[in-house]
Structure 1
């Protein structure tokens, strides 16, 4: 049965790292996906958790009755700047060690390249994965990748082609609902294409920036390269949740052992408890 995990990002500002399992349990969640945090694995920098902190976090999760099925690190493994890329590979090696220590054998991440240097970023990605794939395969850790807005690949189908080109079943796809309009709004066709390589689904809503003939958002100067999206609670945006969950159901994802849905609403931190509980209830309804 599919698992529902909390993304604790809204609680980073007023809770300590070791408190996250208790927060998740209080809100009714049995699962917690760890996201970039200053005391664990910050964005683009070397992880700051030592083995003692990882062990303490694992114990706090067990005491709270909460499982940590996955980590979400973000490192510049596709950077066309090779100094950044080499550092990112080193950092990701340590993230893999932490995943093994926490018995959390899944990394859900991003390409983290640059759209204005697409070919160079793709080349950097494959060079990084030449180093990381043997470690992932040896340790039994799976890496799933989201083509995040403002990455060297944003279209969902093209991102799947890049992942498929690795020729390794240790790497899969993260489908982020709030990125769906950057992916090409193709859930009904992309999810069947991914098959069992779909590793995680993030559930937050967003507005379709293509609507109103491209004037749904207005940012100045006109024609700038800004990417805009939201992480709203389910139902507050334009995502077709019926289509998404119909595709997940038809492909068997919702019945797959190890399947993961992550609630990752970032737009309403001041109502984080209320929104997190709403998300859990709504996801259970959508699954049912």
Structure 2
């Protein structure tokens, strides 16, 4: 049965790292995904956790009865400038060791390249993966990629082609519902192609920026290259959740024990506890009804 995990990012500003497992448990979740945290693996920087802190977090999670489903590191492993790429790989090696020490077999991440230099970024990605894949294979880890808006690859199908080209089953994909309309809005055609290589689905809603002749929401100046999207609670945006979960059921994703659905609402920090509970209830209903 699919795991439902909470991304506790909304709690990061007001709570210490070691408080997070208890907060996740109080919201009713059995699992958490550890996203970039200033005490563990902040965005684009070398991890800050030593072995003692990693062990303490693992114990607090166990004491709270919360499993760590996955880690979410974000490093510039596809950066077209070599200095940053090399640093990112060094940082990523430490993240992989933290995953091993936490006994967490799954990491979900982003490509973290640049769309205006897509060819250079894809080349950088492959150079990084030449170093990372052997570690994944040796340690029995799985690394899944989300083609994040403003990355060198944003379309979901094209991202799958990049991942598939690595020719290893240790690397898969993440489907982020709040990125639906930047992916190409192709869940029903894309997800069946990925099948068992879909490692995680993130559950947050978003508006379709293409509606109302491109004026669903407005950024200035007109025509700028910003990729705007939201991480709203389910039902507050335009994602077709019934269709998405029916497709996930049809591919067998919801019946897999290694599959993960992550609630990652970032727009409701002032009601994070109540919103997290709402997300859990809604996800259970979507799974049951699919």
**Coarse TM-score class (shorter-chain normalised):** over 0.9
Please report how far the alpha carbon of residue 159 of structure 1 lies from its aligned counterpart in structure 2 after TM superposition. 0.4
Matched with 2:220 is 220
> Following the alignment from structure 2 to structure 1, what is the Cα–Cα distance between the partners of residues 187 and 82?
34
> Following the alignment from structure 2 to structure 1, what is the Cα–Cα distance between the partners of residues 214 and 19?
43
> Following the alignment from structure 1 to structure 2, what is the Cα–Cα distance between the partners of residues 224 and 48?
36
Consecutive unaligned residues in structure 1, runs of 5 or more: none
Consecutive unaligned residues in structure 2, runs of 5 or more: none
> Following the alignment from structure 1 to structure 2, what is the Cα–Cα distance between the partners of residues 111 and 258?
22
What's the secondary structure of 2:267's corresponding residue?
Answer: coil
Checking the alignment, whether the CA contact within 8 Å between 1:69 and 1:103 is kept in structure 2 is no
Please report how far the alpha carbon of residue 222 of structure 1 lies from its aligned counterpart in structure 2 after TM superposition. 1.2
Q: Which string of whole-angstrom CA distances, capped at 9 and with x for unpartnered residues, describes residues 185-212 of structure 1?
A: 0000111010100000000000000001
Matches within 5 A, 1:1-288: 1-288=1-288
Could you list the structure 1 runs, at least 4 aligned residues long, displaced by more than 2 angstroms after superposition.
none
Please report how far the alpha carbon of residue 83 of structure 1 lies from its aligned counterpart in structure 2 after TM superposition. 0.3
> Following the alignment from structure 2 to structure 1, what is the Cα–Cα distance between the partners of residues 199 and 252?
12
Please report how far the alpha carbon of residue 220 of structure 1 lies from its aligned counterpart in structure 2 after TM superposition. 1.3
Please report how far the alpha carbon of residue 218 of structure 1 lies from its aligned counterpart in structure 2 after TM superposition. 1.6
Please report how far the alpha carbon of residue 119 of structure 1 lies from its aligned counterpart in structure 2 after TM superposition. 0.3
> Following the alignment from structure 2 to structure 1, what is the Cα–Cα distance between the partners of residues 180 and 162?
18
What's the secondary structure of 1:13's corresponding residue?
Answer: helix
> Following the alignment from structure 1 to structure 2, what is the Cα–Cα distance between the partners of residues 222 and 2?
42
> Following the alignment from structure 1 to structure 2, what is the Cα–Cα distance between the partners of residues 191 and 211?
23
> Following the alignment from structure 1 to structure 2, what is the Cα–Cα distance between the partners of residues 123 and 153?
12
Alignment coverage as a number of residue pairs = 288
> Following the alignment from structure 2 to structure 1, what is the Cα–Cα distance between the partners of residues 257 and 48?
31
Aligned CA RMSD, in angstroms, stands at 0.5
> Following the alignment from structure 1 to structure 2, what is the Cα–Cα distance between the partners of residues 133 and 258?
20
TM-score by length of 1: 0.99
